[in-house]
Amino acid sequence: MPFLITVLVIAAIVAILAVCIKIVPQAHECVIEFLGKYKTTWTAGIHIRIPIFERIVNTVTTKEQVLDSPPQPVITKDNVTMQIDTVIYYAVFNAKLYAYGAVNPISALANLAATTLRNLVGELELDGTLTSRDTINAKMTEILDDATDKWGIKVNHVELRNIIPPAEIQNAMEKQMKAERDRRETLLQAEGHKAAAITRAEGDKQAMILAAEGERDARIARAEGEARAIFLAKKAEADGLKALREAGVDSTVLELKKYDALVAMSNGRASKIIIPTDVVEMTKSNVIFSEASGLGDATQPDLTPDPVIPKDDPCCD
């Protein structure tokens, strides 16, 4: 009998400790009331409560949570009805405000997000709504964060996940997109043709410039070659005259050289050669001198013996 009583006492103590001791896990908070009035908030760790007098009103998590709102109809400024759904990222930062701020804080947050979205989209037209996601997200985040502070909720970010316009609007948008693509394709083709034409023109221009430069360089080279040839010819002639002077040649030979030069200048293209008077006179004098002196006669002497003429025989007279 005493053993049974001991066991019952130990079991009662264990049960009382199990009821009195509360372990709060990490990232969780518990709101405690004492006789129906808020007393304190337990954070992570071991806590002991007084049975009957203290009770845990609410246990909340302080981790970030996601509220996925279903699609809802929203009317734009130009009277287009669209279906838009949102995703809200929030976290509880004050367990007391979360427990006593609103009857159902999550439902209140969802309804507040829906009304805020309708207000913001109602100020925009269809095109503005489709291109202003970031603006709508930022404004909704700011408005919801300010409104939910008294509920102990911190709204970190709001995202518009889907914007679904009516079917006829989607068809019109697809046609508009196709027309825009066709326009861009036409512009790109025109720009390509323009660039190709410019490139060809630039190539032709460069080719003409290079051809002109090549012709110019060729002419310069030919002119330099001809000038060099003339210079060398004149130099050779001058060297020849210098050599004649050094050899002691008289003026008569020089005059004959002038005559040879005149003949060479004609190069077979002139039918008549006009010879200066002094050259003619010089040539005549040279011929007369040659005939008189026998020097310079180009004719061969006649070596045929004179015929023998028989003399008269006196005996036959």
Pair (105, 147) in one structural domain = yes
Pair (107, 161) in one structural domain = yes
Look at residue 56 and tell me if it is in a domain: yes
How many domains does the structure of the chain reveal? 4
**Residue where one domain finishes, among candidates 124, 150, 165:** 165
d(CA 35, CA 56): 11
**In which band, very low, low, confident or very high, does the pLDDT at 145 lie, cut at 50, 70 and 90?**
very high
Pair (136, 155) in one structural domain = yes
Q: Shortest CA distance to 96 belongs to which of 39, 21, 26, 24?
A: 39
pLDDT of residue 23: 83
Whether the predicted pLDDT of 75 surpasses 70:
yes
Q: Tell me the three state secondary structure of residue 57.
A: strand
Q: Shortest CA distance to 143 belongs to which of 123, 176, 117?
A: 117
Whether the predicted pLDDT of 155 surpasses 90:
yes
Please count the other Cβ atoms lying within 10 Å of the Cβ belonging to residue 277.
7
Instruction: Read off the tokens for 230.
Output: 């003339």
CATH of the domain at 131: 3.30.479.30
Assess contact for 51 and 95: CB atoms under 8 A: no
**Residue where one domain finishes, among candidates 165, 199, 229:** 165
Look at residue 1 and tell me if it is in a domain: no
Look at residue 92 and tell me if it is in a domain: yes
- Domain hosting 212: range is 170-221
- In this prediction, residues 137-146 reach a mean pLDDT of 92
**Residue where one domain finishes, among candidates 124, 149, 165:** 165
Look at residue 26 and tell me if it is in a domain: yes
d(CA 43, CA 46): 9
Pair (76, 157) in one structural domain = yes
Pair (73, 145) in one structural domain = yes
pLDDT of residue 263: 64
Look at residue 258 and tell me if it is in a domain: yes
Pair (74, 151) in one structural domain = yes
Q: Tell me the three state secondary structure of residue 150.
A: helix
**In which band, very low, low, confident or very high, does the pLDDT at 303 lie, cut at 50, 70 and 90?**
very low
Pair (138, 213) in one structural domain = no
Pair (57, 74) in one structural domain = no
**Per-residue pLDDT tens digits for 1-47:** 677 777 777 777 777 767 778 888 898 999 988 888 888 898 888 88
**In which band, very low, low, confident or very high, does the pLDDT at 265 lie, cut at 50, 70 and 90?**
low
Look at residue 241 and tell me if it is in a domain: no
Angle (CA) 50 56 61, round 5°? 135
